[in-house]
C-alpha cells in the first residue's frame, strides 16, 4: 500500500469515528439505493390536492390527495394524518399487485385487493414513495 492509499484509509476511519453521517441520512441513502432499477418507470404526478387547494378543500390542511400516472396505469393515493400518517390507495390495474410503501425509516409491502385497493397504517416518518411491482415496475417520486 502506497502512502496516498494509507492516508486515505486513515482519513476515512477518522471521519467515521469522529464525524459519522446522521443515521437518518444513512437510512435515506440506503432507501434510495434500494429503489434503483433501470427497468422501473417513473410515475408522473398528475394531480396534487395541495396545488389545487384553491379549487378543492380537503378535510385537513395536512391530508393530501395525489394521482400518479405511468403509461396507461394510474395510482391514486390519499395521505392522511389522523393520529399517525397512513396511506389509502388504489392502483387501476387488474389482479393482486405487490406495492412497496417506502419511507426513510422502513419499507412496508402490501398486496392490492381484486379492485386494486390497499392501505398502510404503519408508515413511520415521511417522505414516502411507492413501488408497484408490475412489468415494468412503477415508482413514484418522494412525497409527504
CA contacts within 13 A on the Cβ side of 138? 20
pTM metric for this prediction: 0.69
Q: What is the CATH number of the domain that holds 115?
A: 2.60.40
**23 assigned to some structural domain:** no
Domain count, the chain: 1
Q: What is the DSSP string of 10-60?
A: HHHHHHHHHSPPPHHHHHHHHHHHHT--TTPEEPEEEEETTTTTTT---SS
- Dist. CA 10–CA 99, nearest whole Å: 43
Q: Quick check: 104 pLDDT over 90?
A: no
**8 assigned to some structural domain:** no
**28 assigned to some structural domain:** no
Q: Find the angle CA(50)-CA(42)-CA(75) to the nearest 5 degrees.
A: 55
Q: Tell me the pLDDT of the chain averaged across its residues.
A: 86
**96 assigned to some structural domain:** yes
**95 assigned to some structural domain:** yes
**31 assigned to some structural domain:** no
Give the distance between the most distant pair of CA atoms in the chain.
66
Q: Quick check: 65 pLDDT over 90?
A: yes
**129 assigned to some structural domain:** yes
Range of the domain at 108: 41-139
Q: Find the angle CA(55)-CA(117)-CA(52) to the nearest 5 degrees.
A: 10
- The alpha carbon dihedral of 123, 127, 110, 23 has a sign of negative
Arithmetic mean of pLDDT, 26-43: 73
Q: What is the DSSP letter of 4?
A: H
26: confidence class by pLDDT, cuts 50, 70, 90: confident
More confident: 4 or 31: 4
Residue 88 cell numbers, joined: 389509502
Amino acid at each position: 500500500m502506497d502512502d496516498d492509499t494509507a492516508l486515505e484509509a486513515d482519513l476515512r476511519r477518522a471521519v467515521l469515528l469522529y464525524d459519522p453521517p446522521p443515521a437518518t441520512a444513512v437510512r435515506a441513502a440506503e432507501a434510495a439505493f434500494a429503489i434503483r432499477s433501470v427497468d422501473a418507470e417513473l410515475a408522473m404526478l398528475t394531480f396534487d390536492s395541495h396545488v389545487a387547494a384553491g379549487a378543492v378543500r380537503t378535510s385537513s390542511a395536512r391530508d393530501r390527495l395525489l394521482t400518479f400516472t405511468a403509461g396507461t396505469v394510474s395510482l391514486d393515493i390519499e395521505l392522511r394524518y389522523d393520529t399517525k400518517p397512513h396511506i389509502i390507495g388504489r392502483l387501476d390495474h387488474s389482479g393482486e399487485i405487490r406495492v412497496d410503501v417506502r419511507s426513510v425509516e422502513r419499507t412496508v409491502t402490501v398486496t392490492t385487493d381484486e379492485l386494486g385497493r390497499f392501505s398502510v397504517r404503519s408508515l413511520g416518518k415521511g417522505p414516502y414513495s411507492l413501488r408497484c411491482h408490475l412489468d415494468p415496475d412503477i415508482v413514484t417520486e418522494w412525497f409527504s
